Structure 1
Amino acid sequence: MKYLIRDDEMGFLIKNGKFERLLTPGKYSFFTKRGYEVQVVNATGEVKSNIPFEILEKDETFKKSVVRYDIDKNQIGFVYVNGNLIGVTNKGTYVYWNLFEKIEMKVFTMDGYRIPDEITKDMIQFIPAKYYTKVVVYQGQIGHVYVNKVLSEKLESGLYYYWNVVREITADTVDMRWRELNVAGQEILTRDKVGIRLNMVVNFRITDAEKYLSDRTNMEEQLYSFVQMVSREMIGNYKLDEILERRDEIGELMNKRLIEAENDFCVELKNFGIKDIILPGEIREIMNTVLVAEKKAQANVIERREEVASTRSLMNTAKLMDENKTLFQLKKLEYLERICNRVGEISVSGKGDLIEQLSQLI
């Protein structure tokens, strides 16, 4: 039987089920009746054959035409073809044709838990996800990496990769930035048995990330509950009028009370404040009525004060004119001028003084 092996192919000559030798490109003829068989394979990429490599490598031509890489169980290999990364390999023996393409493999151990910097992001994207753990720590956060549930490393902001082939890798991140906690609509009974609602706010940031992770779960919820309890405890000691009048002072006292518990919550607290005091509808109506009455009373006082001042001014003016005839005459002329400005035509006779005649018109 005739066989044609092209330039990008190789052939395995087999006789009676046993590998004889490697056939290079060319034309061949073998008698199948004598047990000859030829397996023609592509001579690029990985060698694909059901013949064990240990048998194939006894042929010198085959041995010179391939490269072999052995990867242990804790290793990973990055395969390059003509300088381009095409994939990764794990435990096993890999044989590649090295005739028309340049095959290289970079082998790294996975014994250490941190993926080394020599393995770039472009290389990592070829690694199966089950082999590594990706940890992202954003700006303002602190990361904690646990190897087999034991804290191993603290991380600043950045991107990190860890092998998890022979170990369990877990990670937590903690936001260390200032945040605002709003405690809204808290119903509280004052000392004089008036039910009010408060909206409060406090700023906080975590100060001890490690203790926070080990001692606390749902810290924000716990802090929220603590602010609720403190507000009910302290506001309940004041009457409604006192709360309205001393709002800022009470807020400062509550802020001090919260700061005393900072270490328990692994946080720093500041700027606590009572944003809103919401009164029941009936109380609001009563207070509005009182406010209107107070404003009316203030307006009446001001009105009476102005009337008294006006009367006093008129009395002083009359007294001056009574004592000073010249001033009295000037005042008369002033009023006559005002009257004349409003009259279109005035008729007078030639008898008597003009001023006297005009005065008689008043």
Structure 2
Amino acid sequence: MLQELLGAIAAAGSAGVIYLAMAARVVKQYERGVLFRLGRVSGESRPPGLTLIIPVVDRLLKVNMQIVTMPIPAQEGITRDNVTVRVDAVVYFRVVDAESALVRVEDYKFAVSQMAQTSLRSIIGKSDLDDLLSNREKLNQGLELMLDSPAIGWGIQVDRVEIKDVSLPDTMKRSMARQAEADRERRARIINADAELQASKKLAEAAQQMADTPAALQLRLLQTVMAVSAEKNSTLVLPIPVELLHFLERGNQQPASNGDGEPRSG
């Protein structure tokens, strides 16, 4: 009788251990468990830690609540200004409602991927090439809004969307390079013309100053001779301005005077 009782206790203990092993589930810190009882959602999502279910009757599905980094394959499209480009991006999202992510959409990752590709094509068609190249922050915000609106109903929150790269055809790259080169050449010509204008104004002021003081022209000529002679040249070409000859001519035309300050008579 005692042996039968011990055997029954051992059998019950073994059955209890087996039942506990079948009923025990462990939900990790970054997960939430959704319990389906006979095919229907039962209760709230199970928090992290040890949880028990009814074997055969219950089914516990775990949902990852971490941020998912999903690359969007490169999409080819035509911009609003009729330029063919290939644009790829990356989307960051996470599940905020585990029950909705399992019940309302079959595969939430695949759904987000397809929605992101469609939205990226739409953004390409609505944007100019200059916006894709230089105004990406605004496009990222618009793309995030397009993804976040339907994703909220799936229990998913889109944290951020970033356009990674914009690929252009080789012909367009060469055209842009020529445009940049022409723009730089235009700016260089404008700078040179502005320098010539400033130099001409300064030269005009110097010429006016020399016209008011004829002796300054002779001093400038002597300075030029000194500068040239410093180079140790064997040949010196000295130009004589006509204004200097007129200055010397006026000096010779002044009447000679005697010691008393009166003109001498011949």
Q: TM-score range by the shorter chain?
A: 0.5 to 0.7
**Relative to structure 1, is the Cα distance of residues 328 and 136 closer, same or farther in structure 2, using a 3 angstrom cutoff?**
farther
Q: Tell me the equivalent position of 2:121.
A: 232
- When the two structures are superposed, what TM-score results if normalisation uses the length of structure 2? 0.67
Deviations 1:249-284 (A, max 9, x none): 444333333332232332222433333221122222
Q: Which residue does the alignment assign to 1:142?
A: 32
1:180 touches 1:201 (CA, 8 Å); kept in 2?
Answer: yes
What residue is the counterpart of 2:99 in the other structure?
Answer: 210
Instruction: For residue 153 of structure 2, give the secondary structure of its aligned residue in structure 1.
Output: helix
Tell me the equivalent position of 2:48: 157
Q: What is the percent sequence identity of the aligned residues?
A: 21
Amino acid at match of 2:99: E
Cα drift, residue 194 of structure 1: 3.2
Change (3 A) 1:337 1:227: same
Higher relative contact order (CA 8 A, sep 6+): 2
- Structure 2: unaligned runs, 5 residues or longer: 234-266
Q: 1:322 to 1:144 in 2, by over 3 A?
A: same
- Pair 161,142 (structure 1): closer, same or farther in 2 beyond 3 Å: closer
Which of 262, 265, 273 in structure 1 is aligned with 2:154?
265
Check conservation: 1:223, 1:265, Cα contact below 8 A: no
**Equivalents in 2 of 1:155, 1:302: separation in Å?**
72
* Matching residue within 174, 179, 183 for 1:285: 174
Q: Provide the rounded CA distance (Å) in 1 between the counterparts of 2:109 and 2:215.
A: 86
In 1: Cα distance, 2:216 partner to 2:7 partner: 126
- Residue pair 1:190, 1:235 contacting (<8 A) in 2 also: yes
Larger radius of gyration: 1
- Aligned-partner Cα distance in 2 for 1:129–1:262: 39
- The separation in 2 between residues aligned to 1:136 and 1:339, in whole angstroms, is 96
Q: Give the Å deviation of 1:200.
A: 2.0
Within the candidate set 191, 194, 197, 2:86 is matched to: 197
> Which residue is 1:51 aligned to?
none
Contact 2:95 2:155 in 1 (8 A): yes
In the TM superposition, what are the counterparts of 1:57-68 in structure 2 within 5 Å? 68=6
Provide the alpha-carbon RMSD of the alignment: 3.7
Higher percent of residues as helix: 2
Confirm or deny: 8 A CA contact 1:192 1:239 kept in the other structure. yes
> Given the alignment of the two structures, is residue 71 of structure 1 paired with residue 9 of structure 2, yes or no?
yes
Q: Aligned equivalents of 1:241 and 1:276: distance in 2?
A: 14
Between Structure 1 and Structure 2, the one with more strand by share is 1
- Report the residue type matching 1:256 in the other structure: L
Aligned mates of 1:304, 1:129 — CA distance in 2: 93
Structure 1 residue 304 and structure 2 residue 193: aligned? yes
CA contact (8 A) 1:131 1:163 kept: no
**Equivalent in the alignment of 1:86:** none
Residues 285-335 of structure 1 show CA distances to partners (whole Å, capped at 9, x for unaligned) of: 222222222222222222222232233333333333443568667766765
In structure 2, distance between residues paired with 1:163 and 1:234 = 47
How many residues are aligned here? 231
| Counterpart residue number, 1:177 | 66
Deviation at 1:239, TM superposition (A): 4.8
Q: CA deviation at 1:198?
A: 0.8
SS in 2 for 1:221: helix
Name the SS of the counterpart of 2:179 in structure 1: helix
- Matches of 1:173 and 1:148 in 2, distance apart? 17
